[in-house]
Every structure is written in C-alpha cells, then in structure tokens.
Amino acid sequence: MHLRLFLLAGIAAGAFSSPALSQQTDAVTETPQIGGTPSSIGTGARDEDAIIVTATRRSQQAQDVPIAVSVVGGEHIDSTGSFNVGRLQQLTPTLQFYSSNPRNTAVNIRGIGVPFGLTNDGIEQGVGIYIDDVYNSRVASATFDFLDVAQIEVLRGPQGTLYGKNTTAGAINITTRQPTFAFEGRAEVSVGNLGYRQAKAAISGPLSGKVAARLALSSTSRDGTIYNVTSRQKINEQDNLGLRAQFLWEPTTALSVTLAGDYSEQDPECCGTVFVKTGATQRPLARQFAALAAAQSYAPVSLDPFDRLTDLDASLNAGNKLGGVSLRANWDVGPGNLTSVTAWRFWDWKPENDRDFTGLPITIRSMNPSQQDQWTQELRFTGRLGALDLVAGAFGFKQKVRTQGVQEQGPAASRWLLSGALANDPSVLAGLRADNDIRLDNTSAALFGQVSWHVTDALTFTPGIRVNYDKKNGLYDSVVTNAQGQLVTFASTDPRIVAQRGVLAPQRFDVAYNDWNLSYDLKASYELTPDVLAYATYAKSFKSGGVNLNGVPADTQGNPILAAATVQPESVNHYEAGLKTQFWGRRATANLAAFRTDIGNYQALVTNGQLGVLRGYLASAGAVRSQGVELDFSVRPSARFNAYVNGAYTDARYRKFVDAPCPPELSGGAIAAPGQAPSAPGTPSGISPANCDISGQRLPGVSKWSFSFGGEATLPATVLGLTGEAYAGYDGSYRSNFSSNPTPSVYTWVDGYSLHNFRLGFRSDRGINLFGWIRNAFDQHYFEQLQVPSGNTGLIVGNLGDPRTYGFTIQAQF
C-alpha cells in the first residue's frame, strides 16, 4: 500500500511539472516554513494573526463568534497523532466517541447526539459532520483518517438553523487545505512499534493562470492490539488509505469553482472484544455463563482483559469504502456572496462479526453489509445590508440505503440458547439462518435564514430560523430457514420450529414517516471591551423522527407491532451563556460557557434480552437533559512557549424514562405479575420487572469531568547545519467514570482514566520537522467501551484502548 502511495505522489509531482508551473514558481523565492509554536488546542490562539472560523457560514475571528467552539489546527492534528475523530476526543473534552466497529459508532457532544449501542439506519445522528461544506450522513465517516486537514471546529450546542436538523448536539466542521496558485507541497512519514506505518503527501500548484489543483494522499497501517488464539492472528489492526483531488477554477476575481473528489478505504481484521467478567443475572444458575460454559467444557482464553487475548471463532472484518464528488462555487454578486455546494457521496460496508463474543460456535455468521448513496444540494447567500449581516439558503438531501443481513447459528447454539431436551440436540439450531433485506429511502428539504443585527458597535442580536421537511420509507424483511431448508414461521406448532423462532424470528413490515419541523434560535452578544465578548443563546431545535429498521416487537401471533415501527422527533430546548476573553496583551485566552439542553421524546435504543430476537429498536425515552460548564484556556507568554487547559463538567441524565429496558442484573427471570415485587438484583431464578424506571440516572458514555491539557516549549538550535528550534511537547487528557450501557448497570461502569502523550523534536527554518513521540506513555489500561451480549448470561466483554505506542515522524514542507 505504501508503494502505491508513493507512486501516486510521484505521478502527482510529475503532473505539476508543467511549463505553466515552472513560470509560476520562478517568482517564488521564499520556502514555506514549519517552524514556530503551533496553535493552542481549544481556543486556536496563536502568536500571529487571528484564528478564522466558519461556524456561522461566513469567515469570522473565533473570538467574535457567539458560539462555544473548540478549534484544533491541522498542525496539531499532525503532531499529536489525532488522525480521526476517535483521537480528536482526547483534545476536546466535550466530544465523546465510541465505536465497536465503523457502523456501530456514536459521536456525541455534551453527552447527546445518537443512541448508544447498535446503529439503526432509520434515524439520524445529532452531531453533523461536515467536510468542506459537505454533510456526511453516515457516522462511519468519523472512523476514517483526516486527510490534509487545515482546521477542525467542534461547534457545541444545537446548530440547527445553519447546519440542519442533524445538529441538535453540535457539529464537527472540517476544513481541508485548498488548492493554491503558489506551488507548495508537504510530505510526512511515521514509523512506530506495533508495525505502525503512516505516510502522507500533498502537492498543490497552478495548472494554468486560472486553474490550480491539489492532490493529497494518506496511508496508515498498524498491527492489531489483540491476539486471537483461534485464528492465530492479531486483530483490531489499522489498514487505511485515503486520496483527495481538488481543482480550483478562478475565471474572474468574483468567481471561484472547486471540483473535489475523494476516496477512502479500510480493510482491517476488526473488530473483536475480550472477556472482561461475568455478573449474576436472574436467569436460573444452569442458564448463566459459568454453567453454560462448563457444560461445553469451555473457558475464556484469559480472565485478565489486559492480557489482550481473545478466542473469537467467527470471521472478523470491518472493510468499508467511502468517497464522493463535490462542486462548490462562490460568486461575489456585489451586495453579497452566493455559494452553491453540490455533492454525491457513497459508503459501502462489508462487515463480519462474532456476535456471541466467545470461542464457541454459537453464532457462526453475523454480518450486515450495506450500501449507501446520498445526494445533497445547498444554495446559500451571505451579505451585509447596513447594520444587518444576512445568511439565507436552501438545502436538499436524498439518501438510499440497502442492507443485506445474515445471521447463522452453529452446533453449540442449542446447548447455549435452549433448555430441556432440545438443548442436548445440536441439530435443532445448527444451520438456523436469518436473511434480512433492509431498505431506507430518505428525503429532506429545508429553507433557512439568519440575521445579525448590529444595534450598536457593541451589541448584536442574531435571530435565525429553519423550516424542514422529512420523508422516510423503510422495509424490514427477515426470512428464517433451518438446516433442513424449512421456513421458520409462527404458523408452525412443531416444537423444534417453535424453539428456532425463539432464537431467530421472521418478520416483515413496511414503514413510512413524514413530517414538517421548525427550528429557530436567538443569540445576543455584547462586547464589554474590545477583548471581552459576552453572549447568550436560546435555541429551539429538533432531531428528525425515524423508522425502526432492526425489527420491532411482535404480538403473540408473531405480527409486528407497527406502533413501534416509527419514533417521534426529538424536541430540543437549549439555553446557553458564555464569555470569550483575551487579556495580558492577548497572550492569554479564556472562553467560558454554561449550558442546559432539555430534550423531549429522546430517541433511545431498547434491546431485547434474547439472542437474535431483536438487534435493538428505537423508542421515545420521555425526556433527558444535559447541563454543565466548559472552559477553554490557553496562554502564550512568548513565542517560545504555549500551554492550554480545556475542561468540562457535564451532568447528563434521563429526566423521565419509566419503561426502559432493565440492566442485566435485573433481567432473565420470570416477568413479575401485576403487584408482584421483583427479586433483588442478581437473584438466580428470580422475578424480573417487565421494564425499569431509570429516571434520574446518567446517560451512557458521559463523564461528569473531562479535561485536556498540554503545552510546548522551544529553544533556538542548529542540527546538522540546519538552523531552527528544538522543542518538547506534551498533551494529556482525563475523564471520570461513565456508564457503558443504555441502562446503567453495576457491571458496565468504565473507570476514569488519564492518558499522557509526549513529543521531542527539531524544526528547521527550511521546512523540516523531525520528532519522536510516545502516546499513552504510562501504558494506562483502560476500556473504551463495555458491552452486554444479548441472552442475559451475565457475560461482559470489552473494547480495549490502545496500549503504549511510540515512534518517529519526519515532515517536510516546500
């Protein structure tokens, strides 16, 4: 793969070696430099110039924007190894990222955004991901490597007026480096332990007097961090390739058109878990993990998860491809600027999983390959009329998703999943198979506008509004057959088929949803001094209603309960106040925000305790709220030193969820009759409640306290005749404990942890940067996520965080 990358880089360099390029570059005498301390994480502050962001869909200085926004510069992304959103969360405390594989990924801000658990294609995320103004509807895009990124803005709080219905929690706005008419290039190579190899290259320059181009390439590979004793392979590896080409046409000073295309692929043997522990449930003791394992002479390969050993026996794969084409046009029309963004994107997902999480052949195949196409069109006008700054536009979205699911049971399934005489007959469930056809067609359209009224030089009011229409059509069709080729149906009374449909149940339904919604907000900001901005915000927003595409509960005759096939839109009320300040001659920057977000009809994931019956469906959880305080602080006393501390206190809870699924310690027993008291948690053969009231409990995945902190110091130095600066950098993060299950369980609290990363290097004045790095320097043992496999056996498995890694990087800029 790396040979392919460098061959492509060579071809790109040759393409730019044209007469037009030579004529242009003859006049360029100054070589771009890497030297100088990087921007500060969070505030984005730097020694020279102001940080410019596009959070309001027009360019503004970050300190002038009345929005809580974290800014991370591209140079810090490169130097800290934060090459995807998962790594980015270590630098931005209010961002949460959880991924058991690319499809089952959650990106939340302030604890809200998307249900925690298996992905349901029929809903949308609450954190919008935008790359160069193009919306990426599938959260899997967050797992790919950042490619030639100039800057990332994490916008906190609802952004529905300008960024759409999918941003009730916030947005991640990624800006890549653009084509230039001055020739420039950059290259980077990193090597490290665990077979880590990463190469990046970018080249930009003119093709003619009016056309410029930029080509960027990236490749990352690394050995897996877990050893599978069954396949004798390391799993959870990295294997990423990314390409982007951009062409800029500037026929006049008033018009620019950029055509961009990108392609990324991943093909790792991923994503596996390790045994963590077992916890008592309310199933009979003979049906809990220890007894079931002993009955088949099975024991986990290790009882210590940080031995990093697993014995998963099904094939693992997380292969996926993502890419698209966009056309962006910016036209200065005199009173303002007109922008058009037209884009098509695709995502192909080819997974293989071990859904029983053990080395036994219980579920021998589990996969949901999926293909998605999306088309978006945005027209936007920005301008100024007297004391008014205007933004107005229209947005259209079309999405098609097709998924083909397969689940097949193996010879150990009967003993594990059944009771009585049938449990001793492997042929009952061996070869039992569900083939799923899942389809979604999603259409959305919106009109939006925002006005900033500068009442005085200091006081500004900014109202905004967005009208949105959504239409979703879905199909879920699961056909179940046994090893004899018989259809498994609810009409049959054959005891074997009755047992089989208790494990994999057939179901088919069509579902449709459409609705209009209105978002609006009002911001007021006041410049107390030239360096102190106070602001307050109220926002009324929503997240679109959805359709359930993982199956729904059925009645006693097996008919789908269609009332559960749709889920209502979330209704969001958001309140925020903040201060943006600079002092000490603008050497220090401190931004403070306090917020409260109330959500009605919160879209929560509900899971069924039996293996294979349901993969999880959506239901309205009543109400939740998230509130807290955030601080981004950076200080730059001299050009030789900078430091930052970013912190967040987040209290995110279910305000009302009276019929939630119960945690494993209260599941698996006979369901309590009306008036009957449930047994104590973890009582074998106990009485389980039909559902649980978890009102007041914490939302999953949210740490009350989270921090990022770091700094860099430099000294003048000369190395091998090159003048420049030596530097030492440090970046750390801390988060307190969090729940790793939609319903909090005593078995799934992840302990708090801290991570510490160091780098030591030399930057020359001529664009060379060499540094060694060590990440998770103290080899902190931590879980990214704990999972509760279905079946109520008490098994808990985990996704491990990376161990200590170290290596060396060389960067060149010319």
Q: Which domain holds residue 28?
A: 2-805
Residue 266 forms beta bridges with which residues?
240, 320
Domains of the chain: total = 1
Q: Is residue 565 part of a domain?
A: yes
Give the pLDDT mean for 782-801.
Answer: 93
Decide: 104 and 701 in contact? Cβ < 8 Å: no
Q: Is residue 812 part of a domain?
A: no
Q: Is residue 813 part of a domain?
A: no
DSSP symbol at 789? -
Which three-class secondary structure state does DSSP give residue 189?
Answer: strand
Which three-class secondary structure state does DSSP give residue 296?
Answer: coil
pLDDT band at 19; cut points 50, 70, 90: very low
Residue type, 124: E
Tens digit of pLDDT for each residue in 468-485? 999 999 999 999 999 999
Tens digit of pLDDT for each residue in 200-240? 999 999 999 999 999 999 999 999 999 999 999 999 999 99
Pairing of strands 233-235, 753-764: unpaired
Tens digit of pLDDT for each residue in 67-97? 999 999 888 887 877 667 777 888 899 898 8
Q: Is residue 374 part of a domain?
A: yes
Q: Which pLDDT score is estimated for 30?
A: 33
Q: Which pLDDT score is estimated for 75?
A: 83
Judge if the upstream peptide bond of residue 662 is cis by omega within 30 degrees of 0.
no
Q: Which pLDDT score is estimated for 785?
A: 93
CA 28 to chain centre: 41
CA 220 to chain centre: 19
Q: Exposed (0-12), middle (13-18) or buried (19+): which is 721, by Cβ within 10 Å?
A: exposed
Residue positions counted in the chain: 814
Token pair 């992304």 is found at: 77
- Kindly report the CATH number assigned to the domain that includes residue 371: 2.40.170.20
Q: Which pLDDT score is estimated for 117?
A: 65
Give the pLDDT mean for 525-535.
Answer: 97
Residues 6 or more apart in contact with residue 80 via CB below 8 angstroms: 87, 90, 91, 731, 757, 759
Give the pLDDT mean for 296-307.
Answer: 97
Report the alpha-carbon angle 404-556-681, nearest 5. Answer: 90
State the Cα–Cα distance between residues 149 and 130, nearest whole angstrom: 12
Q: Which pLDDT score is estimated for 34?
A: 46
Q: Which pLDDT score is estimated for 352?
A: 92
Tens digit of pLDDT for each residue in 405-460? 899 999 999 999 998 899 999 999 999 999 999 999 999 999 999 999 999 999 99
State the Cα–Cα distance between residues 183 and 213, nearest whole angstrom: 10
Q: Is the pLDDT reported for residue 9 higher than 50?
A: no
Tens digit of pLDDT for each residue in 498-524? 999 999 999 999 999 999 999 999 999
pLDDT, the chain, mean? 90
Pairing of strands 127-131, 134-136: antiparallel
Q: Is residue 94 part of a domain?
A: yes
Decide: 780 and 750 in contact? Cβ < 8 Å: no
Q: Is residue 810 part of a domain?
A: no
Residue 341 CB-half CA count within 13 A? 18
Residue 665 forms beta bridges with which residues?
none
Distances from the Cα of 684 to the Cα of 256, 417, 555, 691, 740, angstroms? 69, 17, 28, 18, 24
Residue 525 forms beta bridges with which residues?
460, 535
Q: Is residue 811 part of a domain?
A: no
State the Cα–Cα distance between residues 569 and 425, nearest whole angstrom: 46
Q: What's the whole-model pTM score?
A: 0.92
Q: Which pLDDT score is estimated for 36?
A: 56
